[in-house]
Amino acid sequence: MGYICDFCGDQRSMVYCRSDAACLCLSCDRNVHSANALSRRHSRTLLCERCNSQPALVRCTEERVSLCQNCDWMGHGTSTSASAHKRQTLNCYSGCPSASELSSIWSFVLDLPAAGESACEQEMGLMSIAENSTGSAWSPPESNTKQNASGTVEVNGVRSDDKSSVLVGSSSVPELNPATHVVGQQAGSENATLPKLFCHGTKGPVIPEDDDLYDDFDMDEMDLNLENYEELFGVSLNHSEELFKNGGIDSLFGAKNMSKGNSNYQDLGAAEGSSVGLVNALQPACSNAASADSVMSTKTDPIICFPAKQAQSNLSFSGVTGESSAGDCQDCGASSMLLMGEPPWCPPAPESSMQSANRSNAVMRYKEKKKARKFDKRVRYASRKARADVRKRVKGRFIKAGEAYDYDPLNQARTRSY
């Protein structure tokens, strides 16, 4: 499974694309992901050389194998003698890198058993890199604007190569927008954020002033990061903010769709037509790591480019995203590692059944809380609510005054008057 390229079915698969849920050989990876701007944004990483089905997160320098988190746990669990193995962080990349570029990211890539063996992969070096001319995520590392001082990461206390952490999580870095893109957050950066959440037009991480505004903000609910937002609606943030100010949000989203049932609008905090709602609500998405929500539930692109250890240490939950992330993690008892570091597809590590049980309980509590929060609804017009609260109904529908009803809110017991 996954050993053969899902695309050509011929060559050995070497990289994993989460967006496509596909294992690809290097050649097909380039071909597939050079098709268009969107596909270029897919984040890929090496394929786990043990299970050949999951994206690798770390590379064991001792065994010289790339491992997904699960295989890493199994192979390097605390109970095993290999637990002391030095492991190097593996990072995601996007765009259409050449072989040399890949090797610059993964210094060991040339050591991979199959690397360069096939004609398919040898073609890589001959391919042009169109996105280079358009300001891709493959800009030189020095163009990065968010690197930490050291530019290194540590796994088990071992510093990894700087170059290997250059393109961490560049999956969502908007190659389409070279003027503002921030290439690859440093894996070990104090400012490490999932780049998908990076906001254009913001000068950097913004500390939210009102956590309440973010209680309802989840990336799975609000999967429109700013790049998507602009792509979809063809308006800039400034423009959309202006529309909010002018009460023109309907023109953006369609007023009908903003009514009950669509929580995004109100979850944005814009229920009162304030532009602050949008701006503030978007800020956490810009400045902070994805909420646990987005990782737990989003089906599209929750690429965990950071190894669990980093996710735990660098993706700061506390007091930044409010309930939806830190609060939930704490409340439900799940560590951020459980929620963030472990891809949803990973089966529980067998080394501890108790850990697995705790995890299940934590996830359950988290989901329950999320469910309760998700349906939290803000009422724009209290007067209308007051009226609706006392109106009689038939099968939940309002009835004309004086007509027979089967439900009277004023009488808690079900009323029937025919």
Partner DNA sequence: CCAACACAATGAGCCACAACATACC
Partner DNA sequence: TCGGTATGTTGTGGCTCATTGTGTT
Residues that bind DNA (CB under 7 A): 250, 255-256, 258-262, 367, 371, 374-375, 377, 379-381, 383-385, 387-389, 391, 393, 395-401, 407, 409, 414
**Closest CB to DNA among 3 and 398?**
398
C-alpha count within 13 angstroms, C-beta hemisphere, residue 79: 6
Distance of CA 309 to the CA centre of its chain: 17
20 exposed, middle or buried (CB, 10 Å; 0-12, 13-18, 19+)? Answer: middle
Residue 40 CB, shortest distance to DNA, in Å, is 26
The alpha carbon dihedral of 81, 84, 86, 87 has a sign of: positive
Residue 409 CB, shortest distance to DNA, in Å, is 6
**Closest CB to DNA among 64 and 385?**
385
Alpha-carbon distances, residue 411 vs 383, 391, 392, 404, 405 (angstroms):
20, 11, 10, 15, 12
**Closest CB to DNA among 129 and 276?**
276
**Closest CB to DNA among 203 and 256?**
256
Residue 243 CB, shortest distance to DNA, in Å, is 13
**Closest residue by Cα to residue 133 from 105, 95, 166:** 95
Structure token digits, residue 39 = 């596909």
**Closest CB to DNA among 113 and 273?**
273
249 within 8 A of 215, measured Cβ to Cβ: no
- In what helix (H) or strand (E) does residue 263 lie, and over which residues does it extend? helix 263-267
**Closest CB to DNA among 169 and 269?**
269
90 within 8 A of 56, measured Cβ to Cβ: yes
Residue 362 CB, shortest distance to DNA, in Å, is 16
Residue 268 CB, shortest distance to DNA, in Å, is 13
**Closest CB to DNA among 149 and 372?**
372
320 exposed, middle or buried (CB, 10 Å; 0-12, 13-18, 19+)? Answer: buried
